[in-house]
């Protein structure tokens, strides 16, 4: 499983832990370094994966953290 898929899976897991409904606009307070640590990668590679997910409108950025935009796409990516 590539870093992009591992990042997507980690974001889904973090979203589930919040107990909030999985919906577009859910904000997750997570740093690139925390995602790198959780996915066994380095911050620079995670930053590239996040940039790809943002360009595909799967996630957005709002200050610190990640805002989910498309949970179905995150799920598909995490399953690769």
Cβ 61 vs Cβ 21: under 8 Å: no
**pLDDT band at 20; cut points 50, 70, 90:** confident
CATH of 3-78, one of 1.10.10.10, 3.40.50.300, 3.60.40.10, 3.30.70.1290: 1.10.10.10
pLDDT at residue 12 in the model: 96
Any idea what DSSP says for residue 65?
A: S
- State the burial class of residue 68 (Cβ atoms within 10 Å of its Cβ: 0-12, 13-18, 19+): buried
pLDDT at residue 1 in the model: 87
pLDDT in tens, 26-51: 999 999 999 999 999 999 999 999 99
Question: Other CB atoms closer than 10 Å to residue 7's CB: what's the count?
Answer: 29
Rounded CA separation 41/39 (Å) = 6
Domain residues of the chain, as ranges?
3-78
Residue with tokens 């399953």: 79
The fraction of the chain above a pLDDT of 90, given in percent, is 84
Spacing of C-alpha 32 from chain mean position: 10
């Amino acid at each position: 499983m590539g870093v992009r898929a591992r990042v997507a899976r980690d974001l889904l897991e973090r979203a589930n832990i919040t107990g909030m409904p999985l919906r577009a606009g859910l904000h997750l307070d997570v740093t690139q370094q925390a995602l790198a640590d959780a996915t066994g990668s380095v911050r620079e590679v995670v930053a590239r994966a996040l940039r790809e997910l943002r360009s595909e409108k799967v996630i957005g950025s709002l200050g610190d953290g990640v805002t989910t935009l498309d949970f179905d796409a995150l799920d598909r990516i995490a399953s690769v």
